Amino acid sequence: MGSELERIKDAVVAGKRDQVVAIVQEALNGGLSATRIMTESLIPAMNVVGEKYSTGEFFLPQMMIAARAMDEALPILRPHLAQGNYKKKAKAVVGTVQGDFHDIGKNIVKMMMEGAGYEVIDLGVDVTADAFIKTIRNESPKFVLLSALITLTMDSMKKIVEAIDHAGLRGKVLIGVGGAPVTQKFANEIGADFYADDAHGCVSNCNRLTA
């Protein structure tokens, strides 16, 4: 079992999409849980890729190829994470903030939230404050979930929180923030309602605040 998780991780790092799909399927058929595949193979693989990029062993193309391999695995896991709740708990809007095109983490958050019974509106990547505000006005979500992966785009996160405040909508939504460079300290500084370092933590916070 352990070696299957290692094989998935290695195949993602090497960007071998077909292999990733085959081994993930094999692992699921063999009884490995989707959550373990996600947390013990796929996410650690992205960390390895990030380290290799930092040390100059990988360049942008290798990082893109690995990300595409990871993307192929997510739809296979999605049905295994969904719990088939009939009554949705609450609505959440999720997006990667302006200037940032990273969406793997945001997509995992979306998947886990849906699996936990939330209705999720996904605004995609590079999302402006105006787009969030428009969606809050039109859809009245309970949660606004902001994702950022680049240190510089954390500033967009701050601006989005400020804009929601200035639009007079702060009391209507709860704002959650996350993404690799984001910290609890930063979340406190910008006045977000919660921070979590993974998608599971995001769901736990939403559950806590919905209860």
Shortest distance, position 176 Cβ to ligand B12, whole Å: 4
Shortest distance, position 86 Cβ to ligand B12, whole Å: 25
Which one of residues 128, 198, 207, 209 is an interface residue with ligand B12 (CB under 6 A)?
A: 198
Residues within window 59-88 making contact with ligand B12, judged by CB under 6 A: 60, 63-64, 67
Assess 176 for contact with ligand B12 (CB under 6 A).
Answer: yes
Among positive and negative, which fits the CA dihedral 143, 99, 44, 78? positive
Which H or E element spans position 60? Answer: helix 60-81
Which H or E element spans position 114? Answer: helix 104-115
Q: E strands along 70-209, which residues?
A: 91-96, 119-122, 143-147, 174-178, 194-195
Q: Which residues contact 184 (CB under 8 A, 6 or more apart)?
A: 195
Q: State how far the alpha carbon of 143 is from the alpha carbons of 75, 112, 129, 210, in Å.
A: 24, 14, 15, 10
CB 20 within 8 A of CB 73: yes
CB 54 within 8 A of CB 84: no
Which one of residues 22, 104, 121, 131 is an interface residue with ligand B12 (CB under 6 A)?
A: 104
Assess 188 for contact with ligand B12 (CB under 6 A).
Answer: no
Assess 145 for contact with ligand B12 (CB under 6 A).
Answer: yes
Q: Could you tell me which stretch among 6-14, 72-80, 106-114, 130-138 binds ligand B12 (CB under 6 A)?
A: 106-114
Residues within window 23-62 making contact with ligand B12, judged by CB under 6 A: 43, 46-47, 49-50, 53-54, 60
Shortest distance, position 47 Cβ to ligand B12, whole Å: 5
Sheet holding 174-178, edge to edge: 119-122, 91-96, 143-147, 174-178, 194-195
Shortest distance, position 156 Cβ to ligand B12, whole Å: 11
Token reading at 133? 């505000």
Which one of residues 4, 173, 179, 190 is an interface residue with ligand B12 (CB under 6 A)?
A: 179
Could you list the residues that contact ligand B12 (CB under 6 A)? Answer: 43, 46-47, 49-50, 53-54, 60, 63-64, 67, 99-106, 108-109, 145-147, 149-151, 176-181, 196-199, 202
